[in-house]
Structure 1
């Protein structure tokens, strides 16, 4: 298994967001949202908050779905907004 990806790190002040009733989108962030003591979500473990769930797959990257058909998938080579 490879190295886990930290969720919430804003690269170059750009992040991805998905909310109920809204398509996934790139958003501007003022500062990183992860700190040195942030927890790491391991591969293939689902993080579920209300109806939104995110999971990291080593092959395909981070996927988040809001439960109403919106969300995103992002990897080191591609992204998809829903």
Structure 2
């Protein structure tokens, strides 16, 4: 999976700014950082949980196996997982 120039807006508020990442195939990747830095927002954008959020707009590209997943119809929800957790 590759993320290029990803921006996310909730109305006028920008939740993600110019995110560029490459996730290696067949490896587990962990996103770590302080509270409020955008980890959950990024993951919700990657798995399209924000699609039904009113006023949410996404720019940039997320490609999986050569397909831009942001602007295509979801076909296989098993390709990426999101595990929300609260620790500490």
TM-score by length of 1: 0.28
Higher helix share: 2
TM-score by length of 2: 0.27
Decide which structure has the larger Cα Rg and report it: 2
Task: Tell which has more relative contact order, 1 or 2 (C-alpha 8 A, sep 6+).
Answer: 2
